[in-house]
């Protein structure tokens, strides 16, 4: 007899998680609660309710988490100008701690003693889901079917469905995209298929959110973003919620061929993986945020943030959003953002995000000092002589001791 009485499953309504529902019922003789999150994946989530009911599920959660996702996860990440390995905007990674949080909340609400997910044993998501779950509920049991069962392909999953009369649309399952895709308000990712050959160029018809830069409009699009404390609060003067900001930037960015990326990344479990990503809104946000920070942040604060960013990015990529070290760094990052206020004007053109202007009441740019024209004594150029000699002192001493670099 299984020691699991009730399990909360992260449920998409697709082939894999539909199989998991029945597999959990058969192998653990437990009640299954399904949880489906709307985080802006662009597909209807309500049909998951009917699919879960057809599988005998009594407790079904379908939650609209779009605002929470952008406000509490995406925006804080972008305050750090976060990039993993210099390229990846972490679209999949940043959604996982929110899903883990909600799984644990539902487990507490329903009295479940386990959670389950459909992540495979080869990927990063198993780590992200489970690290988050253990951080939030240390004693929770996690069931990861892909690490337990012997099914290894879509064909074996469909055979399991036929054997057990699991209601799955086999025609749509067979017509499924050749790519493994993950989408939310921040991005859509593509893996598998021809992308498993790093030399093969991605097919043009694979991309769903953006036009190619070659076919983007010949005239640029200008937009203005208003910032408060490091977050975008308005576009072209119109106040917007966090989710609406990202939805709007995705549309205008995708229409101008912005946000495509093709990466070979290092997974936390040890292997290299090739993936393609569309992140139009995020690409715009990163460029604009760095622009407003360039005007408002102290030099050493900005440089320290840049030094810390790769560590912060690794924490998110590897699943440590709920860790004490990430929360400590977030407090420092958020403190720096109190002065990151103002406006950035951008020109979007054929895949490019070009800064066309920036202004802020908190600007540290002093035209009277920076000017190439007459500065009326605001800056004494003679001061530079002593500054240079003092900074050269250690090198001059070393050279006098015969330690010349030549």
Question: Within this chain, do residues 99 and 232 fall inside the same structural domain, yes or no?
Answer: no
The one catalytic residue among 22, 66, 79, 96: 96
User: pLDDT at position 370, please?
Assistant: 85
User: pLDDT at position 371, please?
Assistant: 81
Q: Find out whether 356 and 264 touch, Cβ atoms under 8 Å.
A: no
Q: Is 79 among the catalytic positions? A: no
Summarised one tens digit per residue, pLDDT across range 114-135 is 999 999 999 999 999 999 999 9
Q: In whole angstroms, give the CA distance from residue 249 to residue 279.
A: 10
Question: Within this chain, do residues 189 and 259 fall inside the same structural domain, yes or no?
Answer: yes
User: pLDDT at position 251, please?
Assistant: 98
Residue 305 lies inside a defined structural domain of this protein: no
User: pLDDT at position 64, please?
Assistant: 97
User: pLDDT at position 175, please?
Assistant: 55
Q: In whole angstroms, give the CA distance from residue 391 to residue 381.
A: 16
Q: Show the low-confidence residues of the chain (pLDDT under 50).
A: 1
Q: Is 96 among the catalytic positions? A: yes
Q: Is 125 among the catalytic positions? A: yes
Summarised one tens digit per residue, pLDDT across range 324-345 is 999 999 999 999 999 999 999 9
- What's the CA angle centered on 101, arms 98 and 106, to 5 degrees? 125
Which domain, by its residues, includes 100?
Answer: 6-66+92-176
CATH number at residue 168: 3.40.50.620
CA distances from 129 to 64, 117, 118, 119, 134 (A): 19, 8, 10, 9, 9
Q: Is 180 among the catalytic positions? A: yes
Indicate the burial class of 55 (C-beta count within 10 angstroms; 0-12, 13-18, 19 or more). buried
The one catalytic residue among 38, 125, 226, 231: 125
Residue 288 lies inside a defined structural domain of this protein: yes
Residue 146 lies inside a defined structural domain of this protein: yes
User: pLDDT at position 80, please?
Assistant: 98
- End-to-end CA distance of the chain: give it in Å, rounded: 77
The one catalytic residue among 49, 63, 71, 180: 180
* Placement of tokens 């072209």 in the chain: 236
Question: Within this chain, do residues 136 and 99 fall inside the same structural domain, yes or no?
Answer: yes
pTM, two decimal places:
0.94
Residue where a domain terminates, one of 176, 191, 221: 176
Rounded to 10 degrees, the C-alpha dihedral 144/104/37/69 comes to -120
User: pLDDT at position 73, please?
Assistant: 98
């Amino acid at each position: 007899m299984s020691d699991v009485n009730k399990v909360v499953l992260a449920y998409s309504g697709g082939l894999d998680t539909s199989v998991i529902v029945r597999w959990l019922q058969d192998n653990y003789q437990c009640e299954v609660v399904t949880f489906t999150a709307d985080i802006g994946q662009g597909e209807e989530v309500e049909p998951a309710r009917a699919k879960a009911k057809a599988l005998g599920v009594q407790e079904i959660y379908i939650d609209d988490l779009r605002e929470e996702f952008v406000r509490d996860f995406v925006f804080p990440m972008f305050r750090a100008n976060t990039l993993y390995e210099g390229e990846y905007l972490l679209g999949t990674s940043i959604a996982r701690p929110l899903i883990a949080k909600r799984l644990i909340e539902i487990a507490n609400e329903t009295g479940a003693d386990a959670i389950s997910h459909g992540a495979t044993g080869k990927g990063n998501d198993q780590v992200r889901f489970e690290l988050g779950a253990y951080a939030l509920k240390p004693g929770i049991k996690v069931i990861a079917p892909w690490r337990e069962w012997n099914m290894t392909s879509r064909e074996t999953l469909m055979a399991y469905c036929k054997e057990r009369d699991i209601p799955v649309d086999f025609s749509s399952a067979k017509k499924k995209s050749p790519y493994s895709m993950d989408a939310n308000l921040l991005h859509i990712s593509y893996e598998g298929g021809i992308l498993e050959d790093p030399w093969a160029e991605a097919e043009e018809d694979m991309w769903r959110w953006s036009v190619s830069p070659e076919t983007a409009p010949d005239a640029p699009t200008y937009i203005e973003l208003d910032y408060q404390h490091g977050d975008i609060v308005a576009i072209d003067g119109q106040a917007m919620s966090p989710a609406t900001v990202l939805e709007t930037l995705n549309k205008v960015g995708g229409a101008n061929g912005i946000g495509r990326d093709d990466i070979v990344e290092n997974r936390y479990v040890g292997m290299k993986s090739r993936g393609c990503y569309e992140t139009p809104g995020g690409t715009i946000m990163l460029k604009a945020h760095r622009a407003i920070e360039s005007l408002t942040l102290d030099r050493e604060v900005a440089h320290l943030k840049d030094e810390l960013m790769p560590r912060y990015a690794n924490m998110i990529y590897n699943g440590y959003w709920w860790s004490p070290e990430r929360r400590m760094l977030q407090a420092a990052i958020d403190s720096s953002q109190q002065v990151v206020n103002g406006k950035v004007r951008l020109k979007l053109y054929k895949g490019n995000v070009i800064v066309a202007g920036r202004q802020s009441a908190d600007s540290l740019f002093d035209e009277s000092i920076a000017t190439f024209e007459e500065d009326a004594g605001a800056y004494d150029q003679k001061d530079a002589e002593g500054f240079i000699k003092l900074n050269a002192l250690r090198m001059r001493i070393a050279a006098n001791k015969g330690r010349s670099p030549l």
